[in-house]
């Protein structure tokens, strides 16, 4: 990786930001700022990209051609979002070919949830309602608070498209939850996917290591605040369709309370949480994340296959 020259010290960046000025590139940044920005962008780019093979796996379960086409159009958006984030990394001097095609599957930085394959239409639409909502919450926060101007500009388009994705999921859930059989399948998907999305937002604030993301105002809300924002949309939505979720609003504090052990052990093959086993430590969760989930190899290799064939054909 060739790092582009940064010009400022951390103190100079902080006073630039305190004056309300944006960062347009490394010339307005310090090394620490650029490193924190790269880490944030890699997570975002990987998440967008891995959603493509994940959603593609579920697309054949679409009930009709028009729904199938809607999922394909969502996938096209996600690849576009990934391209935007990798392009910004390239502008920061990162070798993005190496990043996309050279890493091992376990080195990808997307949330663990995407390593668990979506295998039915119910799981596909709950992914749109939950995962795309999580993406929307995270990126809206970046859009509102980031000091990195190129990202802020790019997110105008991304946010609109994420709204389309999550509405696609919500519309389908609203429609299918009127039918008892279809509703039972949605509830089964919600039972494993709700808690997995809670995990998506990462360690609780009291355990989170300092990453520079908040210091340099690359994002605004903390992990716990983002988790609350996600629940404040998702819990009332599910309740309005009589779908049970393990969380409720505490009217006294105005915050959402998780009603199950959290974090918890997860059997990714069976897609089941170990409610009987109760709460585990975040160290144990991070070990599961590090080992990655059942579809990790397959999805990353799927993304890398064409490039590997091209390189192989040229040699």
Note the residues at the interface with Fe ion (CB under 5 A).
48, 78, 81, 132, 162, 165
Supply 95's token pair: 């070798």
Residue 75 contacts by C-beta under 8 Å, 6 or more apart in sequence?
51, 52, 55, 56, 59
Q: How far is the CB of 90 from Fe ion (least distance, A)?
A: 19
Taking the complex as a whole, the smallest distance from the CB of residue 154 to Fe ion amounts, in Å, to 12
Closest CA to 5 of 33, 35, 27: 27
CB nearer to Fe ion: give 28 or 219.
219
Phi and psi dihedrals of 4, rounded to 5? -80, 150
Return the number of the residue (13 or 100) whose C-beta is nearest Fe ion: 100
| CB nearer to Fe ion: pick between 68 and 282 | 68
Between 29 and 155, name the residue whose CB sits nearer to Fe ion.
155
Residue 169: CB minimum distance to Fe ion, A: 10
Tokens coding 18:
């305190």
DSSP state at residue 309: H
> What are the structure tokens assigned to 17, written together?
């930001």
**Nearest-approach distance from CB 41 to Fe ion, in angstroms:** 14
CA distance 304 to 50: 11
Nearer to Fe ion, 44 or 96 (CB): 44
- Taking the complex as a whole, the smallest distance from the CB of residue 78 to Fe ion amounts, in Å, to 5
Inter-residue long-range contacts of 228-237, CB under 8 Å, 24+ positions, other chains counted: 228/255, 228/256, 229/137, 229/141, 230/133, 230/134, 230/137, 230/197, 230/198, 230/201, 231/198, 231/256, 232/256, 233/133, 233/137, 234/129, 234/130, 234/133, 234/194, 234/197, 237/129, 237/170, 237/173
Distance in Å, CB of 166 to Fe ion, minimum: 7
Query: For residues 76 and 144, which CB has a smaller minimum distance to Fe ion in the complex?
Result: 76
């Amino acid at each position: 990786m060739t790092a582009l020259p940064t010009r400022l010290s951390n103190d100079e960046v902080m006073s630039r930001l305190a004056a309300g000025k944006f960062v347009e590139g490394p010339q307005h940044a310090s090394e620490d700022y650029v490193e924190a920005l790269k880490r944030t962008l890699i997570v975002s780019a990987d998440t967008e990209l891995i959603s493509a093979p994940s959603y593609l796996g579920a697309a054949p379960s679409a009930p009709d051609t028009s729904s199938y086409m809607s999922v394909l159009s969502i996938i096209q958006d996600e690849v576009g979002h990934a391209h935007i984030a990798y392009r910004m990394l390239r502008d920061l001097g990162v070798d993005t070919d190496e990043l996309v095609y050279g890493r091992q599957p376990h080195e990808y930085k997307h949330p663990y949830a995407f390593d668990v394959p979506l295998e039915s239409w119910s799981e596909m639409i709950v992914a749109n309602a939950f995962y795309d909502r999580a993406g929307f919450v995270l990126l809206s926060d970046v859009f509102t608070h980031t000091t990195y101007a190129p990202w802020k500009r790019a997110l105008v388009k991304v946010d609109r498209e994420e709204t389309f994705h999550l509405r696609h999921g919500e519309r389908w859930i609203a429609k299918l939850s009127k039918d008892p059989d279809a509703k039972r399948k949605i509830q089964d998907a919600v039972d494993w996917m709700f808690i997995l999305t809670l995990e998506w937002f990462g360690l609780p604030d009291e355990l989170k290591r300092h990453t520079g993301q908040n210091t340099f105002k690359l994002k605004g809300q903390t992990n716990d605040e983002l988790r609350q924002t996600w629940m404040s949309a998702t819990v009332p939505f599910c309740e309005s369709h009589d779908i049970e979720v393990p969380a409720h609003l505490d009217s006294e504090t105005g915050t959402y309370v998780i009603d199950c052990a959290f974090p918890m052990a997860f059997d990714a093959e069976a897609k089941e949480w170990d409610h009987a086993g109760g709460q585990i430590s975040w160290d144990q969760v991070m070990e599961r994340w590090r080992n990655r989930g059942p579809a990790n190899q397959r999805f990353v290799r799927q993304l890398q296959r064409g490039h590997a064939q091209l390189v192989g054909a040229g040699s």
